[in-house]
Amino acid sequence: MRPPVNVQEHSDRYELFVFAPGLSKADFQITLQGDVLTIAVKKQQTEEQSTNWTRREYQPGAFERQFVLNEKIDRENISARYEDGVLVVSMAKLPWQEGPQQEITVA
């Protein structure tokens, strides 16, 4: 299973929306190593979950998704919440300072 993910940019942060219903917040493991943010679930399917279905298009289970973060992300200010089947990872942006504008002459 590879759950879909939407990414939304706001003026002060990015948000990742991981659509993974049927889990609990304790099922998620979120790690940051260097520039790579990893979201993983190690939950295994139980016998009860795998039987007695006539049709089943979704079943929660193990997955791993990785995202390479850009230089705008404040690595110290990443948070996550899980509600209504969606994991929302919020990543604050670093204050961005633009240097003085420089005009470039076309030769």
CATH code for the domain in which residue 13 is found: 2.60.40.790
Segment 14-22 shows an average pLDDT of 93
Total number of domains constituting the chain: 1
SS3 89: strand
Is residue 100 in some structural domain?
no
- Going by pLDDT thresholds of 50, 70 and 90, the confidence category of residue 45 is low
The predicted pLDDT at position 49 comes to 54
More confident residue, 103 or 65: 65
Is residue 103 in some structural domain?
no
Does residue 1 contact residue 60 with C-beta atoms inside 8 Å?
yes
- Going by pLDDT thresholds of 50, 70 and 90, the confidence category of residue 48 is low
Is residue 102 in some structural domain?
no
The predicted pLDDT at position 30 comes to 96
Strand order of the β-sheet with 86-93 is 5-9, 13-19, 86-93, 73-83
Domain around 60: 5-93
